[in-house]
Structures are given as C-alpha cells and as structure tokens.
Amino acid sequence: MSDSAGLDNFIGKWRTRWPEWQVAETFIPATQRQAVVAWFALLQEFEDIMNVDGDPLPADAKLGWWAQELRDWSQQRSRHPLGRVLEPLKAPWAELAEALPVVQLIRRQPGSLDDAMAQFAPFARVVAKVEAALFDAAAPDAHGHQALAAQWLASRAEAAGAAAAPVGMELPAWRALLLKAWPPAPGLSRPRRLWLRLARLRLKRELAGERPVAKPLALLWHSWRGASGGR
C-alpha cells in the first residue's frame, strides 16, 4: 500500500466515525484541514487501543510501536503514513510517547470521577500541549485538560459500557456525571473546540435517547459555536 493510500485509509476511518466533521471543518482554515484530520486519526488509533475488546497484548504491543514511532518523529524520522503529514510539524512528540501508558491505565474501572480524571490527566496535558503547537493556540488551562479527559472518558463509556463506570454506578448516571463535569474550554485550539462540541453533543443526545449524529442544520450551529469558543 502506498503512503497516500495508507493515509487515506486512516483518515477515512476517522471520518467514517465522525461524519459530523464534514460540516464542522468548514470552520477550519483550508491549509490546516489535512493536519487536523491526520492528528485526530492518530488519536483514534490510541482510542482503539484503549478500547480493545479481549486480549490486550496485541494492542499493547501496537502502543509500544507507536511510542517508538513518536520518538522517531522528534528526530525527523517517520514510518507511518500519518507521520508523513504530522512529523514535519514541530510538536512535543517525545512527550506524547512518554504519556501513552495512560491509554492502558484508563481501561481499569475507576473508583470515582475524580479517580478517572486523575488517571487521565497526564495524557490530557500532553495532548493539549501538542495541539497548541500544531494549531498555534495558547497554552491550555485546567479547564481545557478536564474537557479533554471528559471526551476520552465518554469514548471509553461508549465502547466499554458499564465497565467504564465506577463500581456501583449505572452507565446512564456515569454519562450524566461526565456531561456535568465537562467544562467549557475556550482556550483550546479551534479544531479541538469543534471536536469537543461534537462529542459533547453526541453524549447529550445519547442520554436523551436520540440518534447520536444530529441533523446538518443543528451541526452547523453547534460547529459555529464551537469555533467561536461558545459552549
């Protein structure tokens, strides 16, 4: 498979999972769009490893491969098709590599919301730092880190169901708690604000018993709000 075909495959997989982005990316400068979807596709690879079903050993081996790949990006070397887009961009790739073990830790059933947030905090901080570098955003604050953690924990809940919730808590109650703990984060990069907005909208719709993906007109309004920094 050529690098171009491989890149299209990974980006296409992410776009299939997030069809809302076809509307949302209208608010992203055209010059940034390929880097944005390549970055989000990379994060989806880590989410898939986090949400692996069954024997985790192959997924953990893949995570180890990614850690080395990211360290190589810091030395201007890449093997993965996504690296052809992302590696030339200056970002703390080695720091991201060091934070990857959090992806394994978050599989554990948390004791509480605070426990889950604390487990994820190191990874959230590095992801926000990478995005600030990639998309020329300000350094994120604690609210930005918490919003990132809430998005990942919502993804974990979608994949793992009740096993993602604290012991003794039903899944709907856990999702409602995540939604309540999900702060506005206007200081994050515009691409992240948009994705956060879409993910939070999905969570709200799931709690309401509606289909996760909203209609195009609603998506356009929510995307505009996300791009402008509104909640």
What is the tens place of the pLDDT at every residue in 60-102? 999 999 999 999 999 999 999 999 999 999 999 999 999 999 9
What is the tens place of the pLDDT at every residue in 134-152? 998 887 888 999 999 999 9
pLDDT recorded at residue 5: 74
3-state secondary structure of 125: helix
pLDDT recorded at residue 138: 81
Query: What phi and psi values does residue 137 have, to the nearest 5 degrees?
Result: -110, 165
Rounded Cα gap, residues 65 and 78, in angstroms? 12
Q: How many helices (H) and strands (E) does the chain have?
A: 12, 0
All domains of the chain in start order, with CATH: 3-228 (1.10.600.10)
Read off the pLDDT band of 54 (50, 70, 90). Answer: confident
pLDDT recorded at residue 136: 86
Q: Look at residues 47, 167, 192 and name the one whose alpha carbon lies nearest to residue 106.
A: 47
The span from the first CA to the last CA of the chain, in angstroms, equals 41
What is the tens place of the pLDDT at every residue in 169-191? 999 999 999 999 999 988 899 99
Q: How far is CA 175 from the centre of its chain?
A: 17
Cα–Cα distances in angstroms (integers) from residue 18 to residues 12, 99, 105, 219, in the given order = 10, 25, 25, 12
pLDDT at 157 exceeding the cut of 80: yes
Rounded Cα gap, residues 30 and 192, in angstroms? 16
Secondary element (H or E) of residue 142: helix 142-160
Q: Supply the pTM of this predicted model.
A: 0.95
Rounded Cα gap, residues 6 and 8, in angstroms? 5
